[in-house]
């Protein structure tokens, strides 16, 4: 028993779409790994008692736009962003808060720009002038 040609064509098309999606995902993953490795080389770790200065963090991001006092949006470095999806905020405590509307976690975002998550948290973190 064999499948009708229309079923075979549909199955072939679905397999081809899945294959192309898998290849695209692999290419994006390889590109992100390359970007992370470049960030680590370009920016030596910011680990120090005072954390990272907000200006230094913003300089490591692309398409940064001011959205209010102590608030910015930028392209997320942990995934291939077409439009800014990363929200950055300096809290009252001086801690830097990150939220990606694309779903990336803070650990991945920090790794992509060559810092550790602990660099975001500091009681004495310098604040950027509004």
Domain locations along the chain: 43-120
Main-chain phi, psi angles of 40, to 5 degrees: -65, -40
Q: Is 73 or 9 the better-scoring residue by pLDDT?
A: 73
Cα distance between the two ends of the chain: 73
Predicted local distance difference test score (pLDDT) of residue 106: 92
Distances (CA, A) of 7 to 2, 14, 17, 18, 79: 10, 11, 15, 16, 36
Handedness of CA 12, 14, 19, 24 (dihedral sign): positive
Closest CA to 55 of 41, 45, 44, 66: 66
Q: Give 24-76 pLDDT, tens digit per residue.
A: 777 776 776 676 666 655 555 443 435 788 998 999 999 999 999 999 999 99
Where are the alpha helices (H) located in 60-117, listed in sequence order? 106-112
pTM (2 d.p.)? 0.61
Token code pair at residue 20: 């192309």
Q: Is the model's pLDDT at 14 over the cut of 80?
A: yes
Q: Give 84-123 pLDDT, tens digit per residue.
A: 999 999 988 888 999 999 999 999 999 888 888 888 986 5
Q: Centre a 10 Å sphere on the Cβ of residue 39 and count the other Cβ atoms it contains.
A: 17
Distance CA 118, CA 110 (A): 9
């Amino acid at each position: 028993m064999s499948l009708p040609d229309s079923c075979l064509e549909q199955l072939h098309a679905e397999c081809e779409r899945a294959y192309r999606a898998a290849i695209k995902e692999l290419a994006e993953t390889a590109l992100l790994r390359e970007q992370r490795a470049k960030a680590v080389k370009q920016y030596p770790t910011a680990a120090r008692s005072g954390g990272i200065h907000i200006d230094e963090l913003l300089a490591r991001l692309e398409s940064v736009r001011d959205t209010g006092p102590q608030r910015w949006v930028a392209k997320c470095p942990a995934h291939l962003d077409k439009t800014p999806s990363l929200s950055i905020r300096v809290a009252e405590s001086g801690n830097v808060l990150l939220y990606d509307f694309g779903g990336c976690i803070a650990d991945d975002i920090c790794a992509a720009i060559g810092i550790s998550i602990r660099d975001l948290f500091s009681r004495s973190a310098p604040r950027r002038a509004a």
